[in-house]
Structure 1
Amino acid sequence: MQIIFSEKQSDYQITAKLEREGQDILIQLVGGDVPHFGVVTGVNENNLLYDIQMPSRKGHVHQETVLTHEMIKIIQPVIQGNVFIVSGVHVNNISKIQMQAAFEMVEKLAQKVKEWIIDNPGKQQVEHFAN
């Protein structure tokens, strides 16, 4: 099951799409004129943070970690397992106002995600390993 939250501001939209497997959550944080997957940020309940930034054009990498880290900062207190955020938000010829709006939208989306996690806790699964 996929849960979808969206925010629109300054003539564009950002969407957070959530999926849960056990206590782990996958979030797609995409939007703008050219939604894509350019950054992966992973974090666990112990605050171990990992980032992958794919090349965006020659000599540059995608910069959406500023958005994924903002979301993680807000949802971190309620994380039960692993969280992966795959993100890509591109607004053609973005203005400073639109850039600031991205942070405001992600903050609102993160609050919705946090509330959803609180209201829908993952079930603790028992793992068995071979000897």
Structure 2
Amino acid sequence: MPEHTFTVTRSGYTMQAKLRRENQDVLIELTGGDVPHYGVVTAVSLHQPLQTIALPSRPGHHHQEGVLTERVATVIAPVLQSNAFIVGGLHVNRISKQQLAVAGAMAQALGEQIRDYLATHPRTRIEEEFS
């Protein structure tokens, strides 16, 4: 399936979201900064509250990008046709207070771009058959 990429750049760094779809399910990779990586996953479903898992980033610490993946999840939830997984990791070397302060707004803007795309590009459900 084709991948769609959305980007936002502010305060000297870029955050991006790559969106892929299988049937009506959505996979989003939310990465950026100087060291893109995968450290958290947020699951969004029509039938249960969102859930986030944060993996260890270094001894005694866990990845903090859940605040960003959850922001995107909250924005896109009203237009989801099925499930979504948002996998994220963003690291800006020696991040400044200003750069940290705009991260939430950047995730919000990406969520809005994705929401608008999903709302205008719905998928017809491929029905599953069971034995």
TM range (shorter): over 0.9
RMSD: 0.9
Give the alignment of 1:20-31 within 5 angstroms: 20-31=21-32
Residue equivalent to 2:46:
45
Task: Tell me the residue number matched to 2:127.
Answer: 126
Q: Please state whether the residue corresponding to 1:15 is helix, strand or coil.
A: strand
Corresponding residue SS for 1:87: strand
**Consecutive aligned runs of 4 or more in structure 1 exceeding 4 Å deviation:** none
Which range is displaced more, 91-100 or 112-121?
91-100
Aligned match of 1:8? 9
**Match of 2:58?**
57
Q: Deviations over 1:44-78 (max 9, x none)?
A: 11243222211100011101100011111111111
Tell me how many residue pairs correspond in the alignment: 130
Alpha-carbon distance, 1:122 to partner? 1.8
Unmatched segments (≥5 aa) in structure 1:
none
**What corresponds to 1:19 in structure 2?**
20
d(CA) in 2 for partners of 1:63, 1:36: 12
Name the TM-score, length of structure 2 as normaliser: 0.95
Cα contact 1:34–1:90 (8 A) shared by 2? yes
**TM-score, normalised relative to structure 1:** 0.95
SS where residue 78 of structure 2 aligns? helix
Equivalent residue number for residue 83 of structure 2:
82
Matches within 5 A, 1:76-115: 76-115=77-116
Question: In structure 1, how many angstroms separate the alpha carbons of the residues matched to 2:49 and 2:29?
Answer: 19
Distance 1:129 1:48 in 2: 27
**What letter is aligned with 2:122?**
P
What is the percent sequence identity of the aligned residues?
45
